Structure 1
């Protein structure tokens, strides 16, 4: 055992000893100092952890523990919530290798020094890096280095929020009249982020728009978000841009409109997306599926009017919204006890899966089949899971499984690669599982992240209780949609519909 391995083993033993101790016998000042010392050590270990991450990256050591990328290693093995932000910190604070092989000094040496000393934490580091990213490219190297030095010094006494405020002053000093900011800076800082869905299934959209995008968005909102336009609460509200609408009708709709400007902006954006999806702007196909909303639900969910449906892009829809979509949808059945009349068996006649096969795979998997992978189905490829196409595998539905690009390429015969095999029993029977090539063989593992509701229903049916319909009209729509479905043993219903879906 190397010295470093032995020291980490001793550290873990020491941590267990410390965890068993209490500070009851000490005075208040000592108790407070213990808390200070503890968090200083935690911050120091953040710096040491960056060194360990860099070593893993330099040696591709993540492959040894079954991870295809360093990001996956941080997310699954180190359990880091924001792996990309952590990698940005590693790149800024650690000495990286140049193309010629020699080590370069850290980009932010002062910030790295303070983190190693435990005087600042990771939130301070990210605040400093956020300010530095906003410095115009035209600012010379010396001024940029001086700004990093000042920010690192501020970080030892200021909160991350105060660092951001101080950064505004520094940026104003470096570029007082804004003349140094150019297109390169604007291009570097442009972004649009769609946040995760919350407990109400709502999502937060945040963006930093470049000037042209802002101007275009202003034009759209001027028409589509005008009072009375695209109001979902008003059946007579004009839809779209309102260019062919009588001015009197629009004026009456505006008088009935009690939405805030923010709500009108939201509804205009929704209507714009609706028009893009239905107007053919997205083309005819995306990875073999129609580029429209595709949801999968069971007939039990439809009958009971309860549950949450998952879309092919990974979003969750409340059942009330699914019923509204279903009223105009052309349903497709994915029947798992028999083979349907869909052309699902191609053998060696074609390599790429058909749209019908992809719809079947979505109903079965909902996302990437590799365990712990969060990639939604719309961003996956069809993996020849029984035998690779190059090895004589057939393009038949029972032999296919969805896999994201990086995991599809991770399958192979090398020790650091993966193999797939159909699971024969248990709750994942009939699905493909993954295991790393190892001796002895590891246990097959299926991805259950995309089927949490289904697993809850299997193991704890009382957790998922049916809810009554939200309204009588929704109940009637559910009955109409259910009547349009032929009876079939254990089926999942995929709704391709004209505003979300296109019939397969």
Structure 2
């Protein structure tokens, strides 16, 4: 056993001993100092953890534990909430290799030093990096280095939020007239992020818009967010923009409009997206599916008007909203075998799957079939799971499974690669499972992240011996197709 492995084993044993201890015998001042010392050590270990992550990246060691990318390693093995932000911190704080092979000093040496000393945490690091990203590219190297030094010093006494406020003053000092900021800086800092859905299935949208995008959005809001326009609570409210609206009807709708400006902005944005999706702006196909809202639900959910449905793009919709969509659409119907849960056969003598086959795969898997992969179905490819197309595989529904691009390319004969095989028994019978080539044949793993409802149903019906018909209705809004049982 190497010294480092032995030291980590001793550390884990020491942590267990500390966890058993209490501070009951110590005075209040000591108790407070213990809490401070604890968090200092935790922060020091964040710095050491960055070194371990860099070592994994440099040696492609993530492949030995079944991860295709370093990001996947951080997300699934280390369970880090924001893996890309953590990698950015590693790149800024750790010595990186140049193209010629020599090691370069950290890009942010002072911030790296304070994290290693335990005086700041990762939240401070991210706050410092956020400020540094906003420094105009025309600012000289020496001034940029001085700004990093000052921010690192501030971080030892300020909260991450306060670092952002201090950063505003630093940016104002570096570019007091705003003349150094150019189109390159604005392009570098543009962003639009759609947050995860909360317990109410609501999502937070945050954005930094460049000047032209802001001006375009202002034009949209001026017309589509006018009082009385695009009001979902008023069936007499004019839709689209107010140019084609009857002035009298618009005035009456405006008088009834009790929404705030923020709510009108939201409803205008929703109407704009609806016009883009259902007005043909997105074309006829995206990865073989119509570029529209596609929902998979069980017949029980539709009958009981209860539960949550998952869309092909990975969003959750309450059944009440699905019913509203269904009122304007006819369903895509996919019928499953009651026993095996296998889709009906759709044979094809060509490489690419048909739209019907993609619908069937969506209803069966909901997203990437690789275990623990969160990629929604709309961002997957159809993987020839029984045998690769180049090896004589068939493009038949029973032989296909959805896989995201990285995992689809991770299937192969190398020891660190994966193989897909059909599960022949148990609740996942009929689906394809994944295992590494070095794993025993019986260690096939299916992905349940996209079918959480099925896990709950299995627990609920664990003692029920009555066969359950697992019919699914797939509703695409507002296209009309019907796939009847053979």
TM range (shorter): over 0.9
| Structure 2 Cα separation of the partners of residues 439 and 262 of structure 1 | 54
1:307-366 CA distances to partner (integer Å, 9 max, x unpaired)? 1111000001111111111122121221111899987111xx200000000000000000
CA–CA separation in structure 2 for the residues paired with 1:12 and 1:23:
20
Relative contact order, CA 8 A, sep 6+: which one is greater? 1
Q: Deviations over 1:218-256 (max 9, x none)?
A: 000000000111111111111101222221111111111
* 1:186 paired to 2:167: no
Q: Using the alignment, how far apart are the partners of 2:321 and 2:406 within structure 1?
A: 33
Equivalence for 2:307: 307
- Normalising by structure 2, report the TM-score: 0.95
Q: Match of 2:346?
A: 344
Q: In the alignment, what sits opposite 2:470?
A: 490
Residue 455 of structure 2 aligns with which residue? Answer: 455
SS of the residue aligned with 1:449?
coil
Matched residue of 2:434: which SS? Answer: strand
1:329 maps onto 2:329 in alignment: yes
- Give deviations 1:402-432, integer Å, cap 9, x for gaps: 0000000000010000000111111111111
What are the equivalent positions in structure 2 for 1:212-361 lying under 5 Å apart?
212-337=212-337, 344-346=346-348, 349-361=349-361
* SS of residue paired to 1:239: coil
Deviation at 1:447, TM superposition (A): 0.2
Q: In the aligned structure 2, how far is the partner of 1:445 from the partner of 1:60?
A: 23
Q: Secondary structure of the equivalent of 1:168?
A: helix
C-alpha separation in 2, matches of 1:327 and 1:215: 36
Aligned to 1:465: none
Which residue does the alignment assign to 1:39?
39
Counterpart of 1:469 in structure 2 is none
Inter-partner Cα distance in structure 1 for 2:343 and 2:3: 65
- In the alignment, what sits opposite 1:19? 19
Does the aligned pair in 2 maintain the 1:436–1:442 contact within 8 Å? no
CA distance in 1, matches of 2:170, 2:42: 30
Structure 1 unmatched ranges of 5 or more: 463-487
User: Given the two structures, how large is their TM-score scaled by the length of structure 1?
Assistant: 0.92
Aligned length: 475
Instruction: For 1:374-453, list aligned pairs within 5 A.
Output: 374-438=374-438, 440-441=440-441, 443-453=443-453
Q: What is the rounded CA distance, in whole Å, between the counterparts of 2:265 and 2:407 in structure 1?
A: 39
**Deviation (angstroms), 1:502:** 5.5
- Pairwise CA distance, 1:442: 5.9
Q: Displacement, 1:497?
A: 2.2
Separation of aligned partners in 2, 1:177 and 1:245: 45
Residues 1:341 and 1:198: Cα distance change in structure 2 (over 3 Å): closer
Residues 290, 502 of structure 1: 8 Å contact kept: no
Residue matched to 1:471: none
Q: In 1, distance between residues paired with 2:275 and 2:124?
A: 43
Relative to structure 1, is the Cα distance of residues 279 and 227 closer, same or farther in structure 2, using a 3 angstrom cutoff? same
Measured on the aligned residues, the alpha-carbon RMSD in Å equals 1.7
Within 1, Cα distance between the matches of 2:480 and 2:40?
Answer: 57
Q: Which residue of structure 2 lines up, in the alignment, with residue 51 of structure 1? A: 51
Separation of aligned partners in 1, 2:477 and 2:15: 57
Which range is displaced more, 374-383 or 29-38? 29-38
Asked if structure 1 preserves the Cα contact closer than 8 Å seen for 2:331 and 2:480, the reply is no
Question: What is the rounded CA distance, in whole Å, between the counterparts of 1:85 and 1:328 in structure 2?
Answer: 42
